[in-house]
Amino acid sequence: MASINKLALLSRTLSSAAAQQVVRPPIQLFGLEGRYATALYSAATKLSQLDQVEKDLTALQSTIKADKKLREQVTSPIINKKVMATALKEAAAKLNFAPATANLLGLLADNGRLKKLDTVISAFKTIMAAHRGEVVCEVVSAKPLDAGQNKQLEGALKSFLKPNQSLKITSRVDPSIIGGLIVSIGDKYVDMSIATKVKLYTEVIQSAA
């Protein structure tokens, strides 16, 4: 119950200087990271800090990915939450981060959710892409797709778009899916991987045994 109350208060806390009415994002995201990102979008909108927050988080995400030591500190369960929250707020002030960005970092630290920071940032970037009329699509394949396959896939994905939308595709290779594709476009997710089919068939066989 406590965690639910914290999430319910998150948007109001992030935008303490702004009006209390929630601003709904252009796309609905689910999961804990989706709720944090949605609350941040609402707060940043009311504070007129959307672009600055996106810039802050994009830079922070790149820094964390490049700096192994910082990444370990951010995700460490050992470091005291209050100490980390204070350190992050001080760092945000030195880097001239927007207040909404600083508040998010402090809240994630206070709630012991810093390990979710990367996925929260990614979720916020997805919302911002939708805000600009972009539809973010991630394609995961067992091996890199060739030019012909990419063109065919892009043509198929564009059928999901509305007239005022543009497609933004990112590709990732994951050999563990064996074959097939995993496609996420906007808030839709389709798993066509061979690994998932094998798992499904195995479960069916085991349940029938």
Residues 166 and 116 in one domain: no
Task: Identify whether the C-beta of residue 79 lies closer than 8 Å to the C-beta of residue 71.
Answer: no
**Choice between 95 and 10, residue whose per-residue pLDDT is larger:** 95
Please report whether residue 147 resides in a domain.
yes
Please report whether residue 16 resides in a domain.
no
Tokens coding 26: 């252009």
Please report whether residue 192 resides in a domain.
yes
Q: Which of 88-92, 151-155, 191-195, 197-201 has the lowest mean pLDDT?
A: 88-92
- Round to whole Å and give the CA distance between 55 and 97: 9
> Residue 78: which H helix or E strand, with range?
none
**Choice between 100 and 208, residue whose per-residue pLDDT is larger:** 100
Please report whether residue 78 resides in a domain.
yes
Task: Identify whether the C-beta of residue 22 lies closer than 8 Å to the C-beta of residue 11.
Answer: yes
User: What pLDDT is attached to residue 17?
Assistant: 45
Task: Read off the pLDDT of each residue in 105-121 and give the average, rounded to a whole number.
Answer: 90
- Round to whole Å and give the CA distance between 172 and 134: 19
Which of 83, 112, 130 is at the close of a domain?
130
- Round to whole Å and give the CA distance between 187 and 70: 31
Tokens coding 45: 């909108």
- Round to whole Å and give the CA distance between 198 and 142: 15
- At position 148, the amino acid (one-letter code) is G
Domain that holds residue 52: 32-130
Residues 125 and 138 in one domain: no
Task: Read off the pLDDT of each residue in 116-123 and give the average, rounded to a whole number.
Answer: 93
Please report whether residue 97 resides in a domain.
yes
Please report whether residue 43 resides in a domain.
yes
- Measured CA to CA in angstroms, residue 98 lies from 89, 93, 177 at distances of 11, 8, 40
Task: Read off the pLDDT of each residue in 120-140 and give the average, rounded to a whole number.
Answer: 91
Residues 126 and 59 in one domain: yes
pTM: 0.67
Task: Read off the pLDDT of each residue in 138-146 and give the average, rounded to a whole number.
Answer: 94
Which of 102, 130, 158 is at the close of a domain?
130
* Residue 93 belongs to domain with CATH number: 1.10.520.20
User: What pLDDT is attached to residue 146?
Assistant: 94
- Round to whole Å and give the CA distance between 42 and 7: 13
Task: Read off the pLDDT of each residue in 125-148 and give the average, rounded to a whole number.
Answer: 92
Q: Which of 38-42, 54-58, 183-187 has the lowest mean pLDDT?
A: 183-187
User: What pLDDT is attached to residue 192?
Assistant: 92
Residues 187 and 160 in one domain: yes
Please report whether residue 168 resides in a domain.
yes
Task: Read off the pLDDT of each residue in 140-149 and give the average, rounded to a whole number.
Answer: 94
Q: How confident is the model at residue 206 (pLDDT cuts 50, 70, 90)?
A: confident
Please report whether residue 68 resides in a domain.
yes
